[in-house]
Amino acid sequence: MVSAEGDVVCEGDHVVLDVNNGERLVVTQVTRKTKVKLSKRGYASVMPLLGKAYGTIFEVSVDGKCLEVGTEETLSVLNGSFKIKSTERNNAKLVDDGTAQKLGHEDIERMKAQGVKSGELIDKLVANSATFQDKTEFSQEKYKRKKQKKHCVAFVLCRPCAQLLCEAYFNKSPERIRGLRVDTLSLLLSLANVAAREHVLVVEECAGLVMGSVLERLGGHGHCHSASPHLDTRAKMEALAQNVLESGQRVSWRKRMQQVQPSTDIVKFFNFEENITANATYGTLGELLEANGRAEGVTIEIGDGDKGGAREAGAEDEGEGEGEDEGGRPGKKQKTWREQRDEAGRQTKRKHLPKRATGKRTQELAQSKFTSLVLAAPSYNPETLVDRCLSLLSPSATFAIYSPWLQPLVDCKLFLHRNKLALRMQLCECFWREHQVLPERTHPQMNMTTGPTGGYILAGVASDAVLGHGGCSDLEKTAIARAAEPKSVSDGGREGGGVVGAGSSAGSQE
């Protein structure tokens, strides 16, 4: 049934293992060295996955050290709960005093060491349970299921995708993706109208999950730019670089340069081909805004004349900057770099990742405007973020903002409403509940891994006020001015004071 080569696992691919019917999702990379701990007893090499089709079921041997392709039996054991349809017995005589099971821990371990198949092991446990026969069929089934989870592990080999990665992260380390639950992520992408041929701007603190999901939806058509919520402009970074180079602290400069870039760690797990990441870039929001100011020329952008000089200087330095960037990249993430070196040595498939946007590219992006905006950076005030991002959007662009808290979005909604910047805004939350559906045993799932809330979304459509927005918000102008000229921050910024009008900040420049 393996129709295309793309359907099988290649060396260096990332895969998701869906363990025991959704009990656990394991994200791993298929390399010679990788070992995964799927059962308590040991680590197994993932090499048996190589060349296998996505969707293949695997069984972990009882010692936990081998992975082998499962049979129909493997699946029917996992789905066994369906067989029991009714019961006449009840548990009236059941006494749980911990003496029911005659086999001790040592016996079980011995059997495992002897290489007893997992199915046989369960049968043995059942045969040696004094109470098993008196239990209701439902309880018997539950008992078996419990023992199975403990002693035999099966999984399905899955191609990484936004849904699986989001669920995997949400279950294991939700803080890394800011508690962004899969239903909320799906709605975020839908409401922001993320689809092929759209130009999507992402500002996230979810370690690249949102960017990866957007790229998956784009499928190589359209653009995705991930901007970090930092206002560092290219000029500022160059200036910083100059200072640091002079003082000989090259390393710390590089660190700073990386700090202000958005994290795209999770993107690598998607196994994107070159065509998908060709139009994927990242940079700081400051760079985009700076480029946007330039794109809009002398029209509205206040202080454009004053800062022109500084910006031109920045532009001239760009050539040098690119060189530094290229040099700086391999060291960006120590782990990735080491991984890449290892892989390169074995000539495995090269992973395609988003690139840092060049000055020219940033300019193009700002000029062409974005048709879709996804914000998932909850530690920044959504008002200030969206205020800046709106100038980068085309009219009627769709936006969706995620926050684990309701209040910031309430304030943001009022802000956008008051300034007539957005239309058809909706503030909502997803209610998500899984159900156990088994004959005579249908009810909502008791162990909700889904958490109390998946967070909140504010979505809407940008009004045509965004066309002139670059110049209408004093807040933004002063921010750009400050970011663009790091040296004059103290004088320029403070003189303007709390009521910085367009005039006053311009005046202070002169």
Partner 1 sequence: MAGETEAELNKLLEEEEVEELEDLPLEEDDDDAEEHEMVVEAPQQPAPPAGSKKRKAEDVLVAPEPEEEGSPIAAVAEGDLTTDAKAADQDDDHEHDAPSEVVEDLVEEEGDADPAPGAATAAIPWRRDQPPSSSAAPGEGSLIRDGDLVVVYERHDRMKAHRVSRGGRVQNRYGIFEFDDWIDTVHYGGVVRAKQFPKKDAEGGGGGSKKTGGGKQGFVYVLRPSCELWSLVLPHRTQILYIADIATVVAQLRLSPGMRVLESGTGSGSLTHALYRAVAPSGEVFTFEYHELRSIKAREEFQEHGIDLKAKGERVEGEGGVWVEQRDIEQLGFPTDGELYDEGSADAVFLDLPGPWKCIPSVTRCLKVGGMVCSFSPCIEQVQKTLQVMNDEGVYYRMRTMEILLRPYEVRTERVNMLSEPGLALPQDAKAGGRPDAMRFEGQPSEPRMMAVPSVDVRGHTGYLTFAQKVKFSEKAAEQK
The CB density around residue 443, as the number of other CB atoms within 10 Å, is 9
Give the interface segment with partner 1, choosing from 68-76, 97-105, 117-125, 277-285 (CB under 8 A). 68-76
Pick one of 44, 122, 191, 231: the residue that binds partner 1 (CB under 8 A): 191
Query: Which part of the chain contacts partner 1 (CB under 8 A), choosing from 141-149, 191-199, 241-249, 301-309?
Result: 191-199
Closer by beta carbon to partner 1, 157 or else 289:
157
Other beta carbons less than 10 A from residue 51's beta carbon:
12
Closest approach of Cβ 190 to partner 1, in Å? 4
78 binds partner 1 (CB under 8 A): yes
Footprint on residues 222-261 left by partner 1 (CB under 8 A): none
Element (H, E) at 258: helix 250-259
End-to-end Cα spacing for the chain: 72
Sign of CA dihedral 444, 449, 455, 460: negative
Asked if 298 is part of the footprint of partner 1 (rule: CB under 8 A), the reply reads no
Among 168-176, 212-220, 230-238, 249-257, the segment contacting partner 1 (CB under 8 A): 212-220
Residue of 162, 302, 375, 392 interacting with partner 1 (CB under 8 A): 162
- x/- track of binding to partner 1 for residues 15-34 (CB under 8 A): ---x--xx------------
Amino acid identity of 148?
Q
Question: Is residue 71 involved in binding partner 1 (CB under 8 A)?
Answer: yes
103 or 406: CB nearest partner 1: 406
Map the footprint of partner 1 across residues 367-386, applying CB under 8 A: 367-369, 371
CB-based contact 419:390 (threshold 8 Å): no
How far is Cα 279 from Cα 199, in angstroms, rounded to an integer?
10
Residues binding partner 1: what is the number (CB under 8 A)?
Answer: 92
By CB under 8 A, is residue 53 in contact with partner 1? Answer: yes
Task: Please report whether residue 163 would count as binding partner 1 according to CB under 8 A.
Answer: yes
Should residue 324 be labelled a site residue for partner 1 when binding is judged by CB under 8 A? no
By CB under 8 A, residue 186 contacts partner 1: yes
Cβ-count burial of 171 within 10 angstroms (0-12 exposed, 13-18 middle, 19+ buried)?
A: middle
Cβ atoms of 276 and 220 within 8 Å: the answer is: yes
Cβ proximity to partner 1, 462 vs 484, nearer residue: 462
Distances (CA, A) of 503 to 79, 281, 367, 485: 71, 36, 26, 18
Which residues in the 418-447 window bind partner 1 by CB under 8 A? 418, 423-437, 439, 442
32, 172, 197, 349: residue in contact with partner 1 (rule CB under 8 A): 197
Site for partner 1 in 131-160 (CB under 8 A): 156, 158-159
**Pair 177, 39: CB distance under 8 Å:** no
H/E stretch holding 336 reads helix 334-346
Residue number with CB closer to partner 1 (45 or 394): 394
**Of residues 217, 225, 307, 469, which one binds partner 1 by CB under 8 A?**
217
d(CA 158, CA 92): 43
DSSP for 379-409 reads TS-HHHHHHHHHTTEEEEEEEEEEES-SHHH
Interacting residues with partner 1 between 457 and 486 (CB under 8 A): 461-467
Task: Write out the DSSP string of 202-247.
Answer: EEE-STTHHHHHHHHHHTTSSEEEEEES----HHHHHHHHHHHHHH
Q: How far is the CB of 170 from partner 1 (least distance, A)?
A: 13
Options 72, 96, 175, 510; binder of partner 1; rule CB under 8 A: 72
Q: What is the smallest separation between the CB atom of 315 and partner 1, expressed in angstroms?
A: 19
Bridge partners, residue 355, by sequence: 281
Stretch (H or E) spanning 139:
helix 137-151
**Complex with partner 1: residue 321 or 470, whichever CB lies closer:** 470
Cα–Cα distance for residue pair 56/450, rounded to 1 Å = 27
By CB under 8 A, is residue 10 in contact with partner 1?
no
What does DSSP assign to residue 160? -
The helix or strand, by DSSP H or E, that contains position 462, with its residue range, turns out to be: strand 456-462
Shortest spacing between CB 249 and partner 1, in angstroms: 40
- Cβ-proximal residues to 16 (8 Å cutoff; 6+ apart), any chain: 25, 26, 27, 158, 159, 160, 161, 164, 165, 168
Minimum distance, C-beta of residue 189 to partner 1, in the bound complex (Å): 7
- Out of 15, 30, 46, 187, name the contact with partner 1 by CB under 8 A: 187
- Name which position in 223, 236, 413, 482 contacts partner 1 (CB under 8 A): 413
Note whether 207 binds partner 1 by CB under 8 A. no
Answer whether 15's CB lies under 8 Å from 160's CB.
yes
**Which one of 56, 101, 136, 509 is in contact with partner 1 (CB under 8 A)?**
56
Which residue's CB is nearer to partner 1, number 123 or number 464? 464
Shortest reach from residue 22's CB to partner 1, in Å? 5
